[in-house]
Amino acid sequence: MISFFICLALLIGGYFVYGKIVENTFAPDDRETPAVRINDGVDYVVMPKWKLFLVQLLNIAGLGPIFGAMQGALWGPVVFLWITFGTIFAGGVHDYFSGMLSERNDGASISEVCGIYLGGVMKNVMRVFSVVLLVMVGTVFAVGPAGLIVTLLKNGGVTGMLTSSEMWLWIILAYYFIATFISIDKIIGRIYPLFGICLIIMAVGVIFGIFIHPEFTIPEIWSHFYNMHPKGTPVWSFMFITVACGAISGFHSTQSPLMARCMKSEKQGHFVFYGAMVAEGVIALIWAAAGCAIYEVSGGLSTGLSAVLASGQSAAIYDVCIKTMGSVGVALAMIGVIVCPITSGDTAFRSARLVLADWFKIDQNKFSKRLILCVPLLAVGAFVGHLDYSIVWRYFSWTNQTLAMIVLWTASMYLFREKKNYWITAVPATFMSAVSMTYFFCAPECLHLSTTIAYPVGLVLAALFLGIFIYATKKQPKPAKN
């Protein structure tokens, strides 16, 4: 339990110390923001800072820091270290620069931002990556809540059509269409901050539930500093891919432009982007602690947690809420784990609309132009929603972290051009390159090579990417500061 509190303190301290270093490196100023200058009443709308923070948290969170962190707990409390240091030195940096670089470029989607600093080829790669990732995320955040709704209804004795996952999936997709289509301040800006608060309350309820039940004990990192995964899945790089949203997630870079288009001042970025990532890290840390504390360990392995996760994400989350908070947990599970993922899913589709709009230069001020993009996006989402969920999630995980890698390299090139300390992003970019490339070579859904091959190849490729970046900085003229 002591190691949990140490990690929690490091996360909070990281916001004030390292987060400030990141902000000072970027150096926000008093220039007019896109929300003020453009203000189209649809996507560019000024919102208060507290709303921006809560909406950003809700957009980037969903089921990611909950179910992903519980899956990460299969490796044992060593996952606390990845959540803590990943959030401070990688995730927070990634989210801050993705949001602020979008803000500096008229609220452009992340694919367009990457194109500005990494060239046209990378812009097109990122366009495809972004749309595919966003559709997968939106679909994952529809299928998961639909399953949990059915679980809750069945446990409550409800039968018949209301327990059909198919029906709830279509209801959620219909809501997605509405929320993706209308102005950002009509639903998202008004009620999403309330759901963001619910997400925080649910996490607080889980950790207090662990403390008040003497049978639950959070294990210490130093006494369990080994691989506890019951299947023997390696820590590197599987854990770093599995726990994404609670440490670093490329999906966040697709969401940050939504709030970048709604900020009144650049100086809000530290609280909105870096702050929301730290809050998500805290939520992930709590859920990882729950996974480690509640379920039995036999033979030094997390066998009990493995069994509950096998029953599905909705059932696993429901089980934690019931065991830590009782009947109150059911209500919080309904709000926090049904509503919150749905709200992340609709903003995923909204972001996909904006990526396509930037890509094909389609003006989004008119209803008809938004319909042109919304209808096919949701149709694809409906198709993906009927695929094997576990397969969709596995491909999402690798795509997600590869996107984060590219965004960090983009930020590094920006900092180089501005004659600023680019190592603050180049170091995590190199690390995430090693994570992503190693996983690509050894994961079952990718090349599925042995770790003997995948590990050195992943590290060599990461070093190669760093070398290419350094070479590119040597070849480019260094423009003067503005």
Q: pTM, whole model, 2 decimals?
A: 0.91
- At residue 482, the pLDDT reads 47
* Whether pLDDT at 481 is above 60: no
CB count in 10 Å sphere of residue 388: 8
- At residue 262, the pLDDT reads 96
Q: What is the pLDDT of residues 219-278, one digit of tens each?
A: 999 999 999 999 999 999 999 999 998 999 998 999 999 999 999 999 999 999 999 999
Three-state DSSP state, 243: coil
Q: What is the DSSP letter of 477?
A: -
Q: What is the pLDDT of residues 133-153, one digit of tens each?
A: 888 878 877 877 787 788 778
Give backbone dihedrals phi and psi of 458, rounded to 5 degrees, phi first: -60, -45
* Interacting residues of 293 by C-beta distance below 8 A, sequence separation 6+: 210, 216, 217, 218, 219
Mean pLDDT of 72-100: 97
Query: Which of 9-13, 152-156, 171-175, 258-262 is predicted least confidently?
Result: 152-156
**Beta carbons of 69 and 243 less than 8 angstroms apart:** yes
* Whether pLDDT at 88 is above 60: yes
Q: What is the pLDDT of residues 295-308, one digit of tens each?
A: 988 888 898 999 88
Give the pLDDT band (50/70/90) at residue 311.
confident
Q: How far apart are CA 199 and CA 211, in angstroms?
A: 19
CATH architecture of 2-396: Up-down Bundle (1.20)
**Of how many residues is the chain composed?**
482
- At residue 250, the pLDDT reads 92
- Angstrom CA distances, 32 to 37, 39, 104, 266, stand at 6, 12, 10, 8
Got the DSSP string for 244-263?
-TTT--THHHHHHHHHHTS-
- At residue 299, the pLDDT reads 83
Q: How far apart are CA 36 and CA 265, in angstroms?
A: 9
- At residue 391, the pLDDT reads 63
Give the pLDDT band (50/70/90) at residue 336.
low
* Whether pLDDT at 368 is above 50: yes
Higher per-residue pLDDT: 98 or 322: 98
Task: Name the nearest CA neighbour of 3 among 71, 76, 77.
Answer: 77
**Beta carbons of 53 and 15 less than 8 angstroms apart:** no
Each domain of the chain, given as residue ranges in start order, spans 2-396
* Whether pLDDT at 30 is above 80: yes
Quote the tokens at residue 92.
């927070």
Mean pLDDT of 360-375: 85
* Mean confidence (pLDDT) of the chain: 89
